[in-house]
């Protein structure tokens, strides 16, 4: 009887192993997956239903949804994406060992009346922005001589050469870079070719350079914005650089011929500020802010801060900044702030990007 029981046990174990072997042989793994959307712009609060199609269709693998940046966009087990905050997230659908990705760009909603009731400055060529000599602003190639940014740079407009050289004193130009087509809004800049260190600039430049590949501080990237494109998909924007040692337009400045209320604008990090790792303070406590000060007839109307980096949290795209509290102004200045300082002042790269400036409609 014991021998018979033993025989049945062995037979049962053999049957189980055979069944498992059969299951392994008949299992159908996914070999590919396709999403119905690979890139999408969303506003905070909006949702997007994604659909994933695996190959083969009868795969035994089950889809697993994930987001690489849940602080910007989350995704449910059913593939429903929810825009959480301004930034970029990659949403992945994974079947076994294969996956597909949709890149989601999230922006803040624009407050108040529809944009068509306001004046919008987004630095696009069709807006007809003018250089200091009254000619249209044209982005092109520039050659930087000397210094850590020496070399050829593309898609930039700054105060080097031409009419700006005629206005320079001792190799230094400190004045307006360009204006809106009606010449009612002016952007300041500073340029020097006589510093002993090669070409040097501060204030504002116009750029069409974007990218998120930099892994460390490299001043060859000083004309590049940490974004995939301009705010709301624009092509051009402004980069500001704050020089606390030089006066005048080396401090990024916007001036208005007629006082205007700036309702809001968008700001972003640059390819220098985003990968920056602090040396003097702990990375977790490091912050980088830009203080925007409004004034009217020389009197300050208020200040608004835009935090671009706070510890491990970094603005990875465009961030809307509400300036309505400043009221009507005839001047805006931008002064970065950081706890990365020593006896010589701010050590962090004082760069930032500005785009899509919204002026309240004139009454």
The pLDDT tens digits for 18-45 are 444 445 568 899 999 999 999 888 989 8
SS3 24: helix
Domain ranges of the chain: 32-107, 116-359
Of 362, 361, 360, 354, the residue nearest 122 (C-alpha)? 354
User: What was the pLDDT predicted at 8?
Assistant: 45
Mean pLDDT in residue range 54-81: 95
Q: 352, 268 in Cβ contact below 8 A? A: yes
Q: Do domains 32-107 and 116-359 have the same CATH topology?
A: no
32-107 belongs to which CATH class?
A: mainly beta
For the CA atoms of 55, 56, 59, 65, the dihedral, rounded to the nearest 10 degrees, stands at 10
Model confidence at 16: pLDDT above 50: no
Q: 206, 151 in Cβ contact below 8 A? A: no
Q: Does domain 116-359 have CATH number 2.60.120.1350?
A: yes
Model confidence at 200: pLDDT above 50: yes
Of 156, 155, 174, 154, the residue nearest 164 (C-alpha)? 174
The pLDDT tens digits for 125-157 are 999 999 999 999 999 999 998 878 888 999 999
The pLDDT tens digits for 68-93 are 999 999 999 999 999 998 888 999 99
Q: How far from 99 is each of 24, 63, 66, 95, CA to CA, in Å?
A: 22, 9, 10, 6
């Amino acid at each position: 009887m014991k021998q018979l029981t033993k025989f049945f046990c062995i037979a049962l174990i053999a049957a189980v192993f055979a069944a498992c072997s059969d299951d392994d042989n008949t299992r159908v793994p996914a070999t590919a997956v396709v999403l119905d959307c690979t890139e999408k712009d969303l506003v905070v609060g909006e949702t997007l239903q994604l659909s994933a199609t695996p190959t083969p269709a009868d795969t035994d693998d089950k889809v697993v949804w994930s987001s690489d940046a849940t602080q910007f966009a989350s995704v449910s087990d059913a593939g429903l994406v929810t825009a959480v905050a301004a930034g970029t997230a990659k949403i992945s659908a994974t079947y076994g060992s294969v996956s597909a990705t949709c890149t989601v760009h999230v922006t803040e909603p624009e407050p108040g009346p529809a944009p068509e009731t306001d004046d919008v400055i987004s630095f696009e060529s069709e807006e007809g922005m003018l250089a200091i000599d009254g000619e249209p602003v044209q982005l092109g190639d520039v050659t930087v001589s000397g210094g850590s940014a020496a070399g050829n740079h593309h898609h930039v407009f700054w105060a080097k050469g031409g009419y700006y050289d005629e206005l320079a004193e001792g190799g230094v130009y400190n004045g307006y870079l360009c204006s809106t087509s009606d010449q009612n809004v002016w952007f300041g800049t500073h340029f020097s070719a006589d510093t002993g260190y090669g070409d040097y600039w501060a204030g504002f430049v116009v750029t069409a350079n974007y990218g998120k590949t930099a892994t460390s501080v490299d001043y060859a990237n000083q004309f590049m914005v940490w974004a995939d494109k301009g705010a709301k998909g624009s092509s051009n924007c402004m980069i500001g650089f704050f020089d606390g040692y030089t006066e005048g337009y080396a401090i990024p400045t916007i001036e208005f011929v007629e006082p205007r209320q700036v309702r809001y604008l968008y700001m972003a990090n640059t390819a220098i500020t985003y990968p920056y790792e602090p040396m003097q303070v702990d990375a977790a406590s490091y912050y980088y802010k830009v203080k925007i000060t409004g004034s009217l007839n020389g009197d300050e109307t208020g200040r608004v801060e835009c935090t671009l980096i706070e510890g491990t949290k970094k603005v990875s795209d465009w961030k809307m900044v509400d300036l309505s509290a400043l009221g009507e102004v005839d001047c805006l200045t931008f002064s970065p702030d950081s706890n990365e300082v020593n006896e010589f002042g701010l050590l962090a790269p004082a760069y930032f990007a500005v785009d899509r400036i919204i002026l309240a409609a004139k009454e």
